[in-house]
């Protein structure tokens, strides 16, 4: 990397963040860097990263609102995801951390040589082989949405369908629509057990389907299938190509 690695500190305890700052100062001659900010939990970290990207995130695991594991899952698959180095007092999360392709897993109290080693591991994988570029091993329970500089989390089990709209994907619930900066293909792969593709630009939650009907197509004089969903009046068209697969998945 030509520029200095950008580091974000994430821990719900201010003294822990301060200790990391002191350790980073100690190893600055061996590992020049810049600290882009601090956050007290995973949700706050996402808000910081939306404004100030980082190359490496030093994250605690047990935190309120959003813990370090979910933070890593939220970052998974995003373009140029930062490397995650977990810094925690608990060793029982190590396996899960490495399943998420964490660069390293440090136990508190952290020593400067050990932190230096972890940061060098993370740097070797940046930028072309950034960590967490693969899908998370387990599907996320919530999807993040950035609205007016504020991060919102949408429970996946409330989403009725996902529809691609130019460079965004609209996640539609019974109450409203959210815009995601993720690809429909990525979402289809991660949530294959929950959603079925009904059209090239639309995925529908299987549990949200209330029924299917065959309707006339005035434009071409041919009938096609539409799905009705629970809680919304909108009916979604199914393409002829996708219908056999949709029919099988829905057990129609």
pLDDT-derived band at 2, boundaries 50, 70, 90: low
pLDDT tens for 21-73 read: 999 999 999 999 999 999 999 999 999 998 899 999 999 999 999 999 999 98
pLDDT of residue 26: 96
Mean pLDDT of the chain: 88
Most confident of 93-102, 103-112, 132-141: 103-112
Is residue 92 scored above 70 in pLDDT? yes
Tens digit of each residue's pLDDT (9 = 90 or more) over 139-191 = 789 998 988 878 899 999 999 999 998 888 999 999 999 999 888 998 998 89
What is the average pLDDT across 106-124?
94
| Domains of the chain (ranges, CATH numbers) | 6-124 (3.40.50.2300), 142-250 (2.40.50.1020)
The number of CA neighbours under 13 Å toward the Cβ of 119 is 28
Tokens of 3: 């520029």
């Amino acid at each position: 990397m030509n520029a200095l690695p950008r580091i974000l500190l994430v821990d719900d305890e201010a003294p822990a963040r301060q200790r990391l700052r002191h350790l980073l100062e100690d190893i600055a001659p061996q590992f020049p860097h810049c600290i882009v900010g601090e956050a007290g939990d995973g949700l706050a970290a996402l808000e910081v990263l939306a404004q100030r990207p980082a190359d490496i995130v030093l994250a605690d695991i047990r935190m309120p609102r959003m813990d370090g594991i979910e933070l890593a899952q939220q970052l998974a698959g995003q373009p140029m995801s930062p490397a995650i180095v977990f810094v925690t007092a608990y060793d029982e999360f190590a396996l899960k951390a490495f399943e998420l392709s964490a660069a390293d897993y440090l136990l508190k109290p952290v020593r400067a040589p050990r932190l230096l080693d972890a940061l060098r591991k993370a740097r070797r994988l940046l930028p072309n082989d950034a960590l967490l570029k693969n899908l998370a091993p387990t599907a996320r329970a919530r999807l993040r949405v950035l609205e007016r500089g504020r991060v919102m989390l949408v429970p996946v089990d409330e989403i009725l369908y996902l529809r691609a709209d130019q460079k965004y994907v609209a996640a539609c619930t019974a109450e409203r629509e959210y815009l995601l900066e993720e690809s429909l293909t990525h979402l289809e792969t991660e949530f294959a057990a929950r959603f079925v593709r009904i059209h090239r630009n639309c995925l529908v939650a299987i549990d949200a389907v209330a029924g299917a009907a065959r309707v006339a197509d005035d434009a071409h004089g041919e009938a096609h299938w539409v799905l009705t969903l629970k809680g919304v009046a909108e009916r979604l068209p199914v393409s002829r190509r996708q219908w056999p697969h949709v029919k099988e998945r829905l057990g129609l």
